[in-house]
Amino acid sequence: MLTTRPRGTADILPGQVEHWQYIEDMAVRVCREYGYREIRTPIFEHTELFVRGVGESTDIVEKEMYTFQDRGERSITLRPEGTASVVRAYLENKLYAGPQPVKAYYIGPMFRYDRPQAGRYRQFHQFGVEVFGAQQPAVDAEVMALAMDFYGRLGLNDLELHINSLGCPTCRIVVREKLQQFFKPVLGELCPNCQSRYARNPLRILDCKSTRCTELALEAPTTVDCLCPECRTHFEQVQQYMLDLGIPYVLDKQLVRGLDYYTHTAFEIMSPDIGAQSSVGGGGRYNGLIEACGGPPTPGIGFALGLERILLTLQKRGKLPNIQAGPVVFLVAVGDRAVRESFSLLARLRAAGVAADMDYQGRSLKAQMKYAGKLGVRYAVIIGEDELKRGSVMLRDMDAGGQREIPAGEVIGALKDN
């Protein structure tokens, strides 16, 4: 146990973390350009928030939450997603009283107790955005455009964007009835899970992965067929904006999301090359959620993208950049006096903004050079007795292989611009 991490979690080691930083930096940059500002909420919340927010009949709430009693006997849950927390923060901090819309983004770990497999973990990471207080269909398009722009900048230009409209509560009553009528004659053929969904939330039957349910659902009525005139117009305008932006999408009438709060536009982004867990991101509108959490009626929309799945896709496609994150310069010192000189040169190099390191193992010259090679530094600065006597250092270009002797006083200037 002491040397084994819990199932479904991962260590992100030096050498790997640079790729995470690359993706996260891209998210930050894109959000800045779109006018979204970062929000950080706690990793855990009162359980009730997710039960209410995500929905009682969802897989997340029914079987995937990390819930525990804290020492004060409160029921606490590690966040399974970010939207409910951001809504809570919006209400608690009365952000609705400030300028609207509020456009926020977050990057961080989420927790779901699910069966781990490739692309599915118990602790995973999301980059998400949420917009509160904007009803216009252009915002739906902006949110989807932001997601696609982010993928595009990482070199993932051909991911599939699936969109659908789930309508408003009025449309939902109609579709619910139609679905119940449709599935009634075949109720016995549905999987046990869907049989219980039939009464509670028949829309979720469309999302079932079992072969028989999928077959039966092929001809089922869809939400798009049941939209009220207002929702229909909204969805048409969203699609028009997507066309205007030149962002391709698939109209996927079977798309329903796994969380209960969605209304109107819902979308998912698929990566065909990472196996069963192909959804690299998803989101949509949730115009009733803020009110359901006790706030004023406020429209909301957002998405969350799974960073592990993005990384897997980038890996599969060989799109991860080569990032040299270690020191640029290694000081190779031989002899006590040289070590002392090197140690103070090291501090001056770092103060000048040069990423530098030196040996702390008492290695021989040859072993230090070998180690410098392993670190992948661009330059080695060699200081031995002879160099000390001459007040110079040997500057070795590790890539090109050549070396030259330069006055010790010039070394910082020579390395500063590398």
Query: Binding residues for ligand HAM, per CB under 6 A?
Result: 81-83, 112, 114, 120-121, 124, 126, 128, 130, 258-259, 279-284, 302-306, 308-309
Residue 265 CB, nearest distance to ligand HAM (Å)?
10
Least Å from the CB of residue 31 to ligand HAM: 14
State the nearest-atom distance from the C-beta of 376 to ligand HAM, in Å.
31
Contacts of residue 320, defined as CB under 8 A and 6 or more positions apart, other chains included, come to 19, 22, 311, 314
Q: Which is nearer to ligand HAM, 133 or 284 (CB)?
A: 284
CB nearer ligand HAM, residue 79 or residue 396: 79
Query: Which two structure tokens, joined as six digits, stand for 170?
Result: 């009025």
Cβ 16 to ligand HAM, closest distance in Å? 16
Q: Which is nearer to ligand HAM, 109 or 221 (CB)?
A: 109
Closest approach of ligand HAM to the CB of residue 133, in Å: 14
**Owner of token pair 């949110």:** 143
To ligand HAM, the closest distance from the beta carbon of 414 in angstroms equals: 47
Of 287, 290, 280, 281, whose CA–CA distance to 301 is shortest?
287
- Residue count of the chain, please give it: 418
Closer to ligand HAM by CB, 279 or 368: give it.
Answer: 279
Q: Whose Cβ is closer to ligand HAM: residue 190's or residue 259's?
A: 259
Distance between CA 77 and CA 70 in Å, rounded? 10
For ligand HAM, give the closer residue by CB, 313 or 342. Answer: 313
Nearer to ligand HAM, 167 or 281 (CB): 281
| Half-sphere exposure for 393 (CA within 13 Å, toward CB) | 25
Q: Answer whether 134's CB lies under 8 Å from 299's CB.
A: yes
Taking the complex as a whole, the smallest distance from the CB of residue 285 to ligand HAM amounts, in Å, to 8
Distances (CA, A) of 312 to 112, 128, 238, 268: 19, 18, 30, 17
E strands present in 249-367: 250-251, 263-270, 279-285, 300-306, 329-333, 356-358
CB 41 to ligand HAM: min, Å: 12
End-to-end, the C-alpha distance of the chain in Å comes to 45
Q: Which residue is nearest to ligand HAM (CB)?
A: 306
Helix (H, G, I), strand (E, B) or coil at 84: helix
In whole angstroms, the minimum distance from the beta carbon of 282 to ligand HAM comes to 4
Residue 343 is given by DSSP the state: H
From start to end of 22-150, where are the E strands?
37-38, 44-46, 66-69, 75-78, 102-111, 123-132
Pair 308, 125: CB distance under 8 Å: yes
Which tokens is 289 given? 């959620």
Instruction: Burial-class residue 221 by CB neighbours within 10 Å (0-12, 13-18, 19+).
Output: middle
Q: Nearer Cβ to ligand HAM, position 126 or 165?
A: 126
* CB nearer ligand HAM, residue 101 or residue 302: 302
